[in-house]
Chains A and B, each alone.
Chain A
Amino acid sequence: MKQDNKAVRETPLVIETRGLERNYRLGTETVRALRGVDLEIRRNEYVAVMGPSGSGKSTLMNLIGCLDSPTSGEYRLNGQLVSGLSDDALARVRNREIGFVFQTFNLLPRSTALDNVALPLIYAGRPKAERRERAMDALASVELADRMTHRPNELSGGQRQRVAIARALVTKPSILLADEPTGNLDSKTSEDIMMLFDRLHQDGQTIVMVTHERDIAARAERVVTLLDGCIASDNLQDPLRFPTLAERSSG
């Protein structure tokens, strides 16, 4: 289903891929994890990526997040061709443009929540006072202002994922990528995280999220389904509206 709405068409593209392929060599065999993916994502979209296990969802997310390089095809981020970038330029893109949320949180185990969140700002070359302030703000925005000095092993799974989300957001990236962000969380905690995503989206954040669960995908405006490394369907939908925490407690 094509997007014909004029307003949508005029919104700038954040992500644009053309014939994106990614092969993995396993000994003599070649696994074609992605076989030519064309995908456009505009600013402030909320996209859920679905598909069976092994269909290439993570592979796609890693390419979009510049954590991996495609075997062939083009990838433009905010209009800039990523493929030809130098190592240092890529590091800069990861640092400034992309916030990546992993299924397994990937926090530094021996650092406090605050230090974990401030880490990307170190690589952004921000001074210490600013890092501290922005990391505190980011933690406050995921409702963890009171857990700043805790280390990951002193936090619950949901709290860890919120630290990871705060870390992804602290550099104000143009896109938030999340690969099964609730995959390691129970349904109650998942619900909290999804409400956080809803709110971020309402605040204007562009989000791409991989999920296996229909009811989580239902919150997005658009669902891209992968099958064997190809896009099988790409549907706009009316996102199911869930009351936010604030709405729930006030109403």
Chain B
Amino acid sequence: MTFGEAFRSALEMILAHKLRAFFTILGTVVGVTFLIAVITLIEGMDAYITDEFAGQIFGVNSVMVRRSPSVTISGDPEYFRELRRRPSVRFEDAEWLAERVETPGTMAISSSSGGQVDGPVGRSISGVRITGASASFFRVRSMNVEQGRAFQQQEDEAGVPVAVIGRDVADGLFEGTNPLGKTIRIQSFPYQVIGVLERQGSLFGISMDNQVIAPARSAMNGYVNPRGVLDEIIYQVPEPRLLPGAQVEIEGWMRIRNGLRPNEPNNFEVETAEASLSFWTQITQVMLVALPGLVGISLVVGGVVIMNIMLVSVTERTREIGLRKSLGARRKDILRQFVIEAGTLAGMGGLIGIGLGGALAALVAAVSPLPAQLAPWSVLLGLALGVGVGITAGAYPAYRAAGLDPIEALGHE
């Protein structure tokens, strides 16, 4: 019997026992579905974080100097006390650094906080991300102004009260009328709108268009942070290869600036997007091992279910095995028949599972801020696991039954 014939006879057998086939498939489908869905979501999240989030929050090719890390996963109270003892990062630090750093690049500063912005005729929006920044901030963060213009270096240095607003703020305060030249109030300070940012989209469901950016030396200074204090100094290099050098250089200057002795630890943070995301890389690694691990276990449990069904099915079919052996089938003939049947069933289950898993991930992505991205390797993994489990589960009972004397198997009811 050629493989093609064996395969066709397996299909006939499957069609002849649809209900049994259904239950056999079900275990694989459930396992593979969740495996694919989970991996897809994690992969999507990972791509999202590293591509979108990193660019938007940290900027590309940038070194950040901060008082404390932008992301902290430690729960140690002593660590937090240490952070509070650190000196603030100030405007003068940025100016001091700008005079000394030799690696080519652009420096920007920024401070942000959430707050309320008032428009004309009593309209206001709360929860707006309000940023005081230098003029270079727009370039460093690759933010484009789609209407009007960004503020200039002279306006920044003079602290002119002008503002660039996000799309949501423009829509919320001016409802389709041209916001350029209008006045908004931030903490009762009047600012003239000179530009509207291009739509930024959202991160984890939080709109990035609900923001206002104004010169750091305007009334922002003292509002967002205590007077003279910055959230961060950003130094963007033109090429990724310059990044490590810039990081080392800036770290060295900051140690000098803060008067640290060689054996003293840094009392500031020098971060890059990659370094800040290392926490995320760790999390995804753990998730990619742990979650599919869990799902994998469920797949194995599903396999045990399949094995039971196959066991019942093989027991039901022990007579058939006995008959085939009495007609001259060898053990491996029987085994091949059952492996092809189980493999076909599990393969179908795996394919259905991949489809359902992808659909499930797409559904989750549609109704929640979690992104999804189908990874080709997860498809292969799902299929391989499904088929592997199915074949093992199907082959084992058949292997046992095929070892019986024909008459023993035939006597089986």
Query: Which of A68, A87, A108 makes the CB contact (< 8 A) with B320?
Result: A108
The answer to whether B328 touches A62, judged by C-beta atoms less than 8 angstroms apart, is no
Interface 9-residue window, one of B73-81, B262-270, B404-412: B404-412
Interface set of B (CB-CB < 8 Å, partner A): 1, 5, 12-13, 16, 319-320, 323-331, 333, 405-408, 410
The answer to whether A62 touches B407, judged by C-beta atoms less than 8 angstroms apart, is yes
- Nearest Cβ in chain A — how far from B149, in angstroms? 79
Residues of B within 8 A of A167 (CB): 327
Residues of A within 8 A of B331 (CB): 87-88, 91
Q: List 25 A-B contacts (CB under 8 A).
A: A67-B326, A67-B405, A67-B406, A67-B407, A68-B405, A68-B406, A87-B330, A87-B331, A88-B331, A91-B328, A91-B333, A92-B328, A94-B325, A94-B327, A94-B406, A95-B327, A95-B328, A100-B326, A102-B410, A106-B326, A119-B327, A123-B330, A128-B5, A167-B327, A171-B328
Residues of B within 8 A of A102 (CB): 410
Residues of B within 8 A of A108 (CB): 320, 323
- Nearest Cβ in chain A — how far from B198, in angstroms? 67
Task: Determine if A124 is an interface residue (Cβ-Cβ < 8 Å).
Answer: yes
The answer to whether B324 touches A65, judged by C-beta atoms less than 8 angstroms apart, is no
- Nearest Cβ in chain B — how far from A22, in angstroms? 11
The answer to whether A94 touches B328, judged by C-beta atoms less than 8 angstroms apart, is yes
Query: Which of A91, A96, A128 makes the CB contact (< 8 A) with B329?
Result: A91
Residues of A within 8 A of B326 (CB): 65, 67, 94, 100, 106
| A: number of interface residues (CB 8 Å) | 25
**Whole-angstrom CA separation of A119 from B324 in the bound complex:** 8
The answer to whether A123 touches B328, judged by C-beta atoms less than 8 angstroms apart, is yes
Closest residue on chain B to residue A62 by CB atoms: B407
Task: Determine if A56 is an interface residue (Cβ-Cβ < 8 Å).
Answer: no
Residues of B within 8 A of A110 (CB): 12-13, 16
Closest residue on chain B to residue A104 by CB atoms: B410
- Nearest Cβ in chain A — how far from B290, in angstroms? 45
- Nearest Cβ in chain B — how far from A72, in angstroms? 16
Residues of A within 8 A of B328 (CB): 91-92, 94-96, 120, 123-124, 171
For the complex of A and B, 4 pairs with smallest distance between CB atoms: A95-B328, A123-B328, A67-B407, A67-B406
Residues of B within 8 A of A120 (CB): 327-328
- Nearest Cβ in chain B — how far from A113, in angstroms? 15
The answer to whether A88 touches B330, judged by C-beta atoms less than 8 angstroms apart, is yes
Known: A88-B331, A110-B13, A123-B333. 16 other contacts (CB 8 A): A62-B407, A65-B326, A67-B326, A68-B407, A87-B330, A87-B331, A88-B330, A91-B331, A91-B333, A92-B328, A95-B327, A106-B326, A108-B320, A122-B1, A123-B330, A171-B328
